[in-house]
Amino acid sequence: MSNPENVMSADYKEALTSLLFQLADDDLMYAFRGSEWLGLAPHIEEDVASSSISQDSMGHAAMYYQLLEELGAGNADDLAHSRPSSERRNSILTERVNGEGVYMETPLYDWAYAVVRSYFYTQAKKVKVESLCKSSYTPLAEVAIKVKMELYYHRLHWETWFKQLMGSTDVARKKMTDAMTLVMTDFGDMFSFGTKKQLIESNRLIEPEEVLLQNWKMSLEPVFTGLQMTVPAVPVPKKNGRNGEHTKDLDQALRTLSEVYMVDPIAVW
Amino acid sequence: MESIQSTSEAERLARFMERIEADEKIEADDWMPDEYRLTLIKLISMHGMSEIMGALPEKEWVPKAPSLNRKLGIMAKVQDEMGHGQLLLRVTEDLLAPYGKNRGDLMQDLFNGDLKFHNVFHMETKTWADAGIIGWLVDGAAIITQTDMLRASYGPYARALKRICAEEVFHAQHGESIILALVEGTAEQKEMLQEALNRWWEALLMFFGPASKETTGSSKQDLTIKYKIRTKTNEEFRQLFFDKYIPRILSLGLTIPDPTLHFDEKANLWTYQQPDWSKFLKIIRNNGPRSQARLNLRRTSYENNAWVRDALRATVS
Amino acid sequence: MAEEQSFYQEYEIFSKRTHSSPFQYQFSLLAPNEDMALVLAQENFMRREAVVDIWIVNRKHIRKMNAEEKLSLSRLDNKDYRMTKGYGYLRKKWRKYEQEILDEKEILSWGGKRK
């Protein structure tokens, strides 16, 4: 079952496709929100550094879409640009706007939210990618090994920001605490596989949801202990992005990211 | 530095000009006449701020780029522009040190209109083809002026430009790639590109500034040539731009919106319709089509993030 | 702006391209502290080149030379006795004894396996 050349059972392919859409859509949306920050970060040197993380993440999304393309799900660019929100499988957290306003006009983006979202998301991604390195689907395991390489920097970068802002002024700590509340409200579907849970786990594509969640908590614990805080509890999801349930924030994102593509989806751009 | 008591101001200046004439590099901590320092500050702070402000029009197309690869390419390109701003502001900040000024002051100078950003970045963008025109022709124009200053007498600027020009090669090809895809695409895509070229042509002519100060009342080109910061005049830059880009534009079947444009073999010069220099004057006073909107965007993001800089200040160690 | 004054510190960034290459100066950046400078360094100056190590140095820890001290750097060009070119005549002498001079090429070739 580990080779694409082998005949894949319908169940296996269904589970694999579903998981790949979750991974690809997560990184695409995370990178898209990061790209909206470009040119607007609080410090020029940070603007340059964090853009690399957005680029890396979009590169990861492209690798997952490529795996989907190889499975016959469609062309990678088409999968990224033309699927309606009901077909998207990203987590709610990754689709959330960066703050009030639009990047073209007068954006009031929240850097505390950017740091907390990025840090929690990167840790979750790291836990998943480490598990994916042992996936039953070899091409996915091979991609995971590559992705993992770039996550060392992403984690170091966001952990540094998280610790420094948490350990700084009262204003910063308050903003960070508020951001954490916002981020955790949407964190319920981060480790969910949605309705495909059974299929994905039984085919050993990745470890079970509960194991990943536990690993995530453990990975954050040393930092939180150092800050004399406890890792926040992950809520039950109100909406589950893995099942195509989304907020209006995703519609706004999709309109923007596909604006030019949709002028002529068949044309070469 | 001031300990050689007998050295008079005139002698120091003479020694300084000898170094300039001998093509020595001046470094940040070296003695330099105020006129040289102020010329550099004005030039490099404007160059740096133009990169920071110039990131904004292209950035408008970053989240909208029409494929995964285009999204990655334009993200990397705009990131480079911010990076160029970083390099150039660092060079400026070191020149400002004797005045006790820093990046915060430069931002305030931008917001209150004392520090200008390049006229080409006051223009609006309307379609994806604008991203192509900016990458190909606006960056092309910038490459013309920046490569001229690679041997600038001020060492830190020359070294920053060396890094910048190396990245501009990628930018040029990034622009060419977008343009060629549109040229070889559908009729609608070609039309989109021609329409963008029509809108940008005048701004491209204005890019290099007026030929002489008689046109607009002031020009800093004389001082920068005197101090060997650059070698060519505004008009020489413009002619070189024409040499390099007009044949390329025409080879793609695009039309340049100037029926008078032609090459005068005898004079070895391009003859062209002058842009409306009164528009240029408006733009450099921050009254161009998008001047206030872009300043507002920069100011909003800067002020909205002030708490982050406060917080980091508390972590200084 | 006194506000920004204390925010920024200037850090000089050095990097090594390969394990065998020496550290090389890159550029300077502004950051509040070393840890932050470290997470900014690579992406600001080495986005397109390989790096195996990075050094971050606070500029205030660099002892620079002033103009007068730089005058102490000049040397007369009369020190051939320090250089191999002052001993070039040996090549000819050794020829008489049918031996080769131990030049740079020969000596630096001794590092590998014995041939």
Does the pLDDT value for residue B250 go beyond 80?
yes
Is residue C70 in some structural domain?
no
Task: Band the pLDDT of B3: cuts 50, 70, 90.
Answer: low
8 Å CB contact of B315 and C33: yes
d(CA C113, CA C115): 6
pLDDT at position C2: 45
Q: Tell me, what CATH number does C24's domain have?
A: 3.10.20
Residues of B in contact with A264 (CB under 8 A): 186, 188-189
Q: Are residues C12 and C54 in the same domain?
A: yes
Q: Tell me, what CATH number does A218's domain have?
A: 1.20.1260.10
Residue-wise pLDDT for C74-96, tens only, equals 999 999 999 988 898 999 999 99
Give, for A109, the enclosing helix (H) or strand (E): strand A108-109
Q: Are residues C98 and C55 in the same domain?
A: no
ipTM, interface predicted TM-score of the complex: 0.96
d(CA C13, CA C54): 7
* Residues of chain A predicted below pLDDT 70: 1-6
Lowest mean pLDDT among B206-220, B277-291, C59-73: B206-220
Q: Are residues C16 and C55 in the same domain?
A: yes
State the average pLDDT for chain B.
94
Pick the residue with more confidence: C7 or B106?
B106
pLDDT at position C7: 67
Is residue A269 in some structural domain?
no
pLDDT at position A7: 80
Distance from the A33 Cα atom to the nearest Cα atom in chain C, whole angstroms: 19
Does the pLDDT value for residue B243 go beyond 70?
yes
Q: Are residues C14 and C55 in the same domain?
A: yes
CA neighbor of A32 nearest in space, from B24, B72, B110: B72
Supply the DSSP string of B182-227, one letter for each residue. Answer: HHTS-HHHHHHHHHHHHHHHHHHHHTT--SSHHHHS---HHHHHHT
Q: Are residues C14 and C50 in the same domain?
A: yes
Is residue A154 in some structural domain?
yes
Question: Which candidate from C36, C42, C44 shows the least CB-CB separation from A164?
Answer: C36
Question: What's the CA angle centered on B123, arms B103 and A251, to 5 degrees?
Answer: 90
Does the pLDDT value for residue B73 go beyond 70?
yes
**C-alpha distances in Å from residue A125, one per residue of A204, A210, A215:** 18, 15, 11
In which domain, by residue range, is A101 found?
10-263
Residue-wise pLDDT for B116-157, tens only, equals 999 999 999 999 999 999 999 999 999 999 999 999 999 999
The residues on C that touch B, with CB distances below 8 Å, are 1, 3-9, 27-30, 32-34, 36, 44-45, 47-48, 64, 66-68
Task: Band the pLDDT of C112: cuts 50, 70, 90.
Answer: confident
Give, for C53, the enclosing helix (H) or strand (E): strand C53-58
Q: Which residues contact B101 (CB under 8 A, 6 or more apart)?
A: none
Supply the DSSP string of chain B, one letter for each residue. Answer: ----TT--HHHHHHHHHHHHHTTPPB-TTS---HHHHHHHHHHHHHHHHHHHHHHHHHHTTTTT-SSHHHHHHHHHHHHHHHHHHHHHHHHHHHHHGGGT--HHHHHHHHHTTSS---GGGGS---SHHHHHHIIIIIHHHHHHHHHHTTT-SBHHHHHHHHHHHHHHHHHHHHHHHHHHHHHTS-HHHHHHHHHHHHHHHHHHHHTT--SSHHHHS---HHHHHHTTS--S-HHHHHHHHHHHHHHHHHHTT---S-TT-EEETTTTEEE-PPP-HHHHHHHHTT-STTHHHHHHHHHHHHHHTHHHHHHHHTT--
Question: Which candidate from B93, B104, B317 shows the least CB-CB separation from C3?
Answer: B104
Residue-wise pLDDT for B166-183, tens only, equals 999 999 999 999 999 999
Q: Are residues C12 and C56 in the same domain?
A: yes
Distance from the A148 Cα atom to the nearest Cα atom in chain C, whole angstroms: 18
Task: Band the pLDDT of B6: cuts 50, 70, 90.
Answer: low
CA neighbor of B258 nearest in space, from B240, B246, B243, B241: B246
Is residue C25 in some structural domain?
yes
pLDDT at position A172: 98
Give the CA count within 13 Å in the CB-facing half-sphere of B16: 21
Among B residues 220-279, those touching chain C with beta carbons less than 8 Å apart? none
Q: Where do the domains of chain B lie, and which CATH numbers do they carry?
A: 11-209+229-311 (1.20.1260.10)
In which domain, by residue range, is C25 found?
8-61
Residues of C in contact with B4 (CB under 8 A): 68
Is residue A1 in some structural domain?
no
CA neighbor of A184 nearest in space, from A92, A48, A105: A92
Is residue A3 in some structural domain?
no
Is residue A196 in some structural domain?
yes
**C-alpha distances in Å from residue B66, one per residue of A81, A102, A116, A257, A262:** 8, 19, 29, 8, 8
Give, for A69, the enclosing helix (H) or strand (E): helix A44-70
Distance from the A65 Cα atom to the nearest Cα atom in chain C, whole angstroms: 25
8 Å CB contact of C43 and A48: yes
Is residue A100 in some structural domain?
yes
d(CA A104, CA B126): 12
Residue-wise pLDDT for B288-299, tens only, equals 999 999 999 999
Does the pLDDT value for residue B4 go beyond 60?
no
Residue B261: Cβ within 10 Å count: 15
Is residue C69 in some structural domain?
no
Is residue A136 in some structural domain?
yes
Give the type of residue at B52.
I
Q: What is the pTM of this model?
A: 0.95
Q: Give how many domains chain A has, as a whole number.
A: 1
Does the pLDDT value for residue B219 go beyond 80?
no
Distance from the C101 Cα atom to the nearest Cα atom in chain A, whole angstroms: 51
Q: Give how many domains chain C has, as a whole number.
A: 2
Q: Are residues C22 and C54 in the same domain?
A: yes
Is residue A25 in some structural domain?
yes
Q: Are residues C49 and C94 in the same domain?
A: no
Question: Which candidate from B75, B304, B308 shows the least CB-CB separation from A51?
Answer: B75
Does the pLDDT value for residue C1 go beyond 50?
no
What's the whole-number mean pLDDT along residues B176-192? 98
Contact A193, A242 (CB under 8 A): yes
**C-alpha distances in Å from residue C30, one per residue of A234, B219, C26:** 37, 32, 14
d(CA B90, CA B156): 9
Does the pLDDT value for residue C67 go beyond 90?
no
Q: What residue of C is the nearest CA neighbor of B311?
A: C7
pLDDT at position B222: 82
